[in-house]
């Protein structure tokens, strides 16, 4: 059994503002990322390559809060976070607060493969990117009018959900390949109107991103600060490994009990050692999709 | 029972280079931090205040790799990381890659108390510090000749242990107060010769710093990348809470099995819900001290 699940952010979904046309665009974008990631697995590729592929596609799509189309800081700039983890070797890396790297997930993977470090932030991360041959892009590349409007609304004291479908959106993917290896990847522009230098859960190994063969792989989306305090992704895998909970039970408890108790909102996608996938959230909606070699294929908004 | 344990870094300890005079200075510095932290607890203060007090004292002492006396990046600058966590409320915060904040642990605590975020990095973290009334200091404040010599040695291809006692030193404290609340705090200059922008385990909640009432409080020191991949601090507390391991067993397994299996070296201090303290490491030595209301008081290099 090989399997991949992806998310494109969880949050308030004001359906009255999400036109049928926009719904179709999200559905289509999720389908492309899902099927391209799945194709990697079907070709015998690694879960690591599958999640990288899916996340890179979602980063490139301005519909999602990652890469192009990222949410903006209170100063109007895009600051991007991403992480990746290989459940087989427990190798992992993240980058945070980068402003000029087109695909942060590619940089996170490069940090994992070519550096001795697990987390690089800010200008230092971009120095590494340049040394590795990445071409930097202007910050304006990431900024789209919808995100500027979102920021203006927030500054005006309005709720984001009045305009934007996914305020705390983030993209991510988890996969199990035919060899039984698990992997997770997450990428985000973070919280709209965030303080410059704010880092959320996505690039933090154990908080928003985690993978361990024999346990599970997890990618989170939502109010990152709560996932960080709960060390949510690691907690879910530890619950599967040590408490005998099913993945469904572990994810449900984290979202509907622990996260809710702190007042946090968000969603989780996860896959266990057998390829079973769980996609759960306590927000109005979560852009999500899943496909496996047993014939399951679903896309939901 | 109230209790506090502190560490001042784990690493190779070339005793032939650590003069009796220097040993006395380390012993005395650890004693001051230990007893000042303990006094907070004895006065009925919170574990949060006790660990903040102890870590701030160690930050101010140039003998330790945190605050003044921090290890230097490959560019010769000091970049500081710190975190704190309140086991009672699961509130937590960290700062990373700051260059001009005299006491990073104070800034981490302020982020926890006065911001909506859990991790702030780089210039954004310093922007927050200024807005909160912190006075910034020049980076030169942190740099001491011993650390420049350490960097020069590393650049010359020498092993750090030929000169410096604690290459991967970091400072930290864990405590249980009379109310039964646990807290943890960690502060560091990180790895000598590190890439600018590199963030280690210290400021990452769940990796180098974690506290949860009913489970334990943990502060780590050593090769941070391995603690990050293991989500070590959270793993230890999850093992106590969910696997029925004693704190001693959980810390031992993490250091001598999991960390060793990845090739990592370092140390852990931890305290459990009953105030039992464990100080363990797989390096040659660890600067450490512990004191509790049952009469235990020990300082070891």
Q: pLDDT (tens digit, 9 = 90+) per residue, B196-208?
A: 999 999 999 999 9
Average pLDDT over residues B187-215: 96
End-to-end CA distance of chain A: 25
Q: Taking 90 as the threshold, does the pLDDT of residue B163 lie above it?
A: no
Looking up tokens 């982020």 gives B111
Average pLDDT over residues A107-117: 97
Report the residue count for chain A.
301
More confident residue, B19 or B228: B228
**pLDDT above 70 coverage of chain A, percent:** 94
pLDDT of residue A155: 83
**Domain ranges across chain B:** 3-300
Average pLDDT over residues B159-174: 66
Average pLDDT over residues A249-272: 96
Given a contact cutoff of 8 angstroms between Cβ atoms, the answer to whether A236 and A257 are in contact is: no
A107 pLDDT band, cuts 50/70/90, is: very high
Lowest-pLDDT choice from A106-115, A157-166, A292-301, B110-119:
A157-166
Q: Let me know if B118 is exposed, middle or buried by CB neighbors in 10 A (0-12, 13-18, 19+).
A: buried
Is A239 in Cβ contact with B235 (below 8 Å)?
no
- Extract the tokens encoding B219: 């502060």
**pLDDT above 90 coverage of chain B, percent:** 84
List CB contacts (< 8 A) between B207 and chain A.
205-206
- Alpha-carbon distance of B241 to B87, in angstroms, equals 13
Given a contact cutoff of 8 angstroms between Cβ atoms, the answer to whether A195 and B130 are in contact is: no
pLDDT of residue B155: 83
- The model carries a pTM of 0.95
End-to-end CA distance of chain B: 25
| Counts of helices then strands in chain B (DSSP H, E) | 9, 12
Lowest-pLDDT choice from A19-33, B117-131, B224-238:
A19-33
Residues of A tagged active-site: 170
B149 pLDDT band, cuts 50/70/90, is: confident
How close B31 gets to chain A, by Cα (Å)?
31
Average pLDDT over residues A18-41: 93
Query: What integer best gives the mean pLDDT of chain A?
Result: 93
Best mutation site among B84, B87, B199, B260 for testing chain A: the one with the most A CBs within 10 Å? B199
Q: Which residues of A28-45 are buried (b: 16+ CB within 10 A; e: fewer)?
A: ebbeebbbebbebbbeeb
Contact of B205 with chain A, judged by CB distance below 8 Å, is answered with yes
Given a contact cutoff of 8 angstroms between Cβ atoms, the answer to whether A190 and A224 are in contact is: yes
Per-residue pLDDT tens digits for A171-202: 999 999 999 999 999 999 998 889 999 999 99
B119 pLDDT band, cuts 50/70/90, is: very high
Q: Taking 60 as the threshold, does the pLDDT of residue B164 lie above it?
A: no
CATH dotted code for B3-300: 3.60.20.30
Best mutation site among B79, B121, B193 for testing chain A: the one with the most A CBs within 10 Å? B121
Lowest-pLDDT choice from A8-12, A52-56, B36-40, B115-119:
A8-12
pLDDT of residue A165: 46
Query: What integer best gives the mean pLDDT of chain B?
Result: 93
Contact of A154 with chain B, judged by CB distance below 8 Å, is answered with no
pLDDT of residue A13: 64
Lowest-pLDDT choice from B129-138, B163-172, B240-249:
B163-172
Neighbours of B60 (CB within 10 A): 16
Which residue of chain A comes nearest to B120, CA vs CA? A198
Which residue of chain A comes nearest to B128, CA vs CA? A195
Neighbours of A170 (CB within 10 A): 35
- Alpha-carbon distance of B188 to B219, in angstroms, equals 11
List CB contacts (< 8 A) between A210 and chain B.
231
pLDDT of residue B156: 81
Average pLDDT over residues B234-252: 97
Catalytic residue among B52, B73, B170, B254: B170
Helix (H) or strand (E) holding A265: none
Instruction: Give the torsion through C-alpha atoms of A253, A200, A64, A235, to 10 deg.
Output: -20
Contact of A116 with chain B, judged by CB distance below 8 Å, is answered with yes
pLDDT of residue A163: 46
Which of B91, B198, B231 shows the shortest C-beta gap to A124? B198
- Alpha-carbon distance of A204 to B207, in angstroms, equals 9
- Alpha-carbon distance of B44 to B234, in angstroms, equals 27
What are the strands of the beta sheet with B266-272, ordered from one edge?
B209-212, B216-222, B266-272, B277-281
Per-residue pLDDT tens digits for B52-91: 999 999 999 999 999 999 999 999 999 999 999 999 999 9
A vs B, Cβ pairs < 8 A, gives 140
């Amino acid at each position: 059994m090989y399997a991949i699940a992806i998310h494109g952010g969880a949050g308030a979904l004001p359906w009255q503002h999400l036109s049928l046309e926009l719904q179709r665009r999200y559905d289509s974008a999720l389908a492309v990322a899902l099927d391209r990631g799945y194709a990697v697995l079907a070709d015998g590729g690694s879960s690591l390559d599958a999640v990288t592929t899916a996340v890179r596609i979602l980063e490139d799509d301005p519909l999602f809060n990652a890469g192009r189309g990222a949410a903006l800081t209170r100063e109007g700039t895009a600051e991007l976070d991403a992480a990746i983890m290989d459940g087989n070797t427990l190798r992992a890396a993240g980058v945070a607060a980068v402003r000029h790297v087109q695909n942060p997930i590619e940089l996170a993977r490069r940090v994992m493969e070519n550096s001795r470090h697990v987390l690089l932030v800010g200008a230092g991360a971009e120095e590494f990117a340049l040394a590795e041959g990445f071409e930097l892009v202007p910050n304006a590349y990431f900024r789209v009018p919808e995100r500027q409007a979102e920021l203006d609304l927030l500054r005006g004291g309005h709720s984001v959900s009045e305009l934007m479908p996914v305020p705390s959106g983030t993209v991510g993917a988890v996969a199990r390949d035919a060899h039984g290896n698990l992997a997770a990847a997450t990428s985000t522009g973070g919280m709209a109107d965030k303080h410059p230098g704010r880092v959320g859960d996505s690039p933090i190994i154990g908080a928003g991103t985690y993978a361990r063969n024999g346990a599970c792989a997890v990618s989170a989306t939502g109010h990152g600060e709560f996932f960080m305090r709960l060390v949510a992704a690691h907690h879910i895998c530890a619950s599967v490994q040590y408490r005998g909970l099913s993945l469904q039970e572990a994810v449900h408890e984290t979202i509907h009990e622990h996260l809710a108790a702190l007042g946090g909102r968000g969603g989780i996608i996860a896959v266990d050692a057998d390829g079973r996938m769980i996609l759960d959230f306590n927000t109005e909606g979560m852009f999500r999709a899943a496909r496996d070699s047993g014939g399951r294929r679903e896309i939901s908004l």
